[in-house]
Structure 1
Amino acid sequence: MAYRGEWEPVFRFFAQELERQSAIREFIDGEAHVKGFLLAYLGLTQGYILLPEYESSKGYADFYMMPDLVRQPDIVYSYIVEVKYVRRDTSDADIALLKRDAAEQLRRYADDGKVARTKGNTQLGLITLVFKGWELVALEKLASRADCENESEA
């Protein structure tokens, strides 16, 4: 995740563990339960300073995985993660709208000057996770504007 950008298996594993370890009753709290679970697991990752509810561009990114460049200066990837939670009866059309909103939020957070100053030379991954109850139904990575510009210059 930190060095090869292999983020998807990490979040799929977290989602499997969420489903395996959680009781149905815990999902009464919905998004708060999912975020709490992810916070515990993401806190175990090495190479990052985990900043939950990171204030950025007049909003709060659910998780900014800021690279710990002091301890691991050669880290390659950093991430901002937006988590969305919907009830099990939510339509696919509503989920599509939610994903679009998450993409807008992530791009706004990525444009924040604090993120630019703290990510160093890492490639910033913008990750959307959508949970429908305990099931991970969407797992997407967007490119930040800066990374898109760097790719077009190459």
Structure 2
Amino acid sequence: MAERRLIAVTLDEGSVPRRSADLEHERRVAIYDLIEQNEFSPRGDHGGPYHLHLAITEGRLVFDIRDQDDTPLGKVILALSPLRAVIKDYMAVCSVYYEAIKNASPARIESIDMGRRGLHNQGSELLVERLKGKIDIDRDTARRLFTLICVLLTRD
């Protein structure tokens, strides 16, 4: 039985020349959590486990899928336009959230965080929908991948 999971995830470092400390922390946590537990199964006759390289190329999101020996298995390329609005809203709320945790009341922080999580869920569900028929992923995997996509698209 093939292992339908990710064992390595990398981001195209050329897509993000520099990151804020908060964004870098989000990247590290998302990759760590993703490797610890995920469900990732590209359509086709490939067995896992998989390496995934995420990149933005010519305005498109590229899932470069490789086997455990780093042999290319294929790419899934998605248009970014369906994701851009939710990513923009999510990153705006994240910015407010990071400022709020410095000096806002716990109630205010919780309120902002609820909105942030709602947008994150919305983006994750949209990602699952966009990958349907190409890559099967579970909800937690989608959430972590959405975080990484936001990292790729955010310029500080």
**The TM-score by the shorter chain falls in which range?**
0.3 to 0.5
Higher strand share: 1
- The structure carrying a bigger helix percent of its residues is 2
Normalising by structure 1, we get a TM-score of: 0.33
The TM-score with structure 2 as length reference comes to 0.33
